[in-house]
Structures are given as C-alpha cells and as structure tokens.
C-alpha cells in the first residue's frame, strides 16, 4: 500500500491522490456510521428522523446524546452505538493520519540514509 523504505519519496500528485483516497474512506465510514446510528435511533428510540440523525452525529463525534432513551432496546442500542462510535472515531483518525505519518517517517528515513552515505 505504501512505498517501501528503499523506494523514493512519492511525488506530490500521487501523495495528494493517496490522501484523497484516505479522506474518501473516512467519509464512507462517517456516512455508514451515521446511517446505522440514525436507523437505530429511529427504530429503537422511536425518534423522528432529524432527531435520530442528531443523536447519531452527537454520539459519533463524542459530544453525547441529545435525547434520553426510555426503552430497554433503545438503551441497549445507545450503549453499543456509543462503544462502536469510539472505535470508529479512532479508526477514522488512523485512516486519515496514516499517509501523513508514513510520508513524514519515510522522509526522515531517506534523510538518515543520505546523511549516512555522506558520512562514508
């Protein structure tokens, strides 16, 4: 997926495409998570669509629920959706940051190789 340590640094255009793909994957995770959350809050929490979407978005971003769940099913859904949202948030951050961190570390590795070559 990423270039190996002996390969040259990726050019800016290819890196921008890689970063765009990462953002696209992240948007897909967000859209899927919001859809599942909205459907769950609508079905289990008996909320209107806009309230279900609001609750899903607030939980997904770590802000907390807006409407309290009154049924056992709603409370169970909210519990598991909150746990899922924590994992999803960390996954989204990893997907977005992976190309940036890899490029930074790869550049440092190449710089270290150049310094070692110059020293010999």
The pTM (predicted TM-score) of the whole model is: 0.80
Reply yes or no on whether the pLDDT at 115 is more than 60. Answer: no
Give per-residue pLDDT as tens, 5-21: 777 777 899 989 999 99
Closest CA to 30 of 48, 55, 56, 63: 56
Q: Are 45 and 71 in contact (CB under 8 A)?
A: yes
Conformation bin of residue 72: beta by default, left when phi > 0, alpha when psi is -120 to 50: alpha
Q: Whats the size of the chain, residue-wise?
A: 120
Q: Are 80 and 7 in contact (CB under 8 A)?
A: no
Architecture of domain 26-112: Orthogonal Bundle (1.10)
Average pLDDT, the chain: 89
- Token pair listed for 113: 């190789």
Give the chain's count of helices (H) and strands (E). 3, 0
């Amino acid at each position: 997926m990423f270039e190996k340590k002996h390969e040259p640094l990726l050019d800016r255009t290819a890196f921008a495409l890689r970063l765009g793909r990462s953002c696209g994957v992240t948007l897909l995770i967000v859209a899927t998570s919001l859809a599942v959350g909205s459907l769950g809050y609508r079905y289990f929490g008996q909320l209107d669509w806009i309230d279900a979407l609001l609750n899903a978005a607030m939980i997904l971003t770590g802000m907390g629920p807006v409407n309290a769940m009154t049924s056992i099913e709603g409370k169970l859904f909210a519990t598991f959706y909150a746990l899922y949202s924590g994992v999803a948030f960390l996954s989204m951050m990893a997907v977005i940051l992976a190309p940036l961190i890899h490029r930074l570390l790869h550049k440092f590795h190449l710089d270290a190789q150049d310094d070692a070559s110059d020293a010999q």
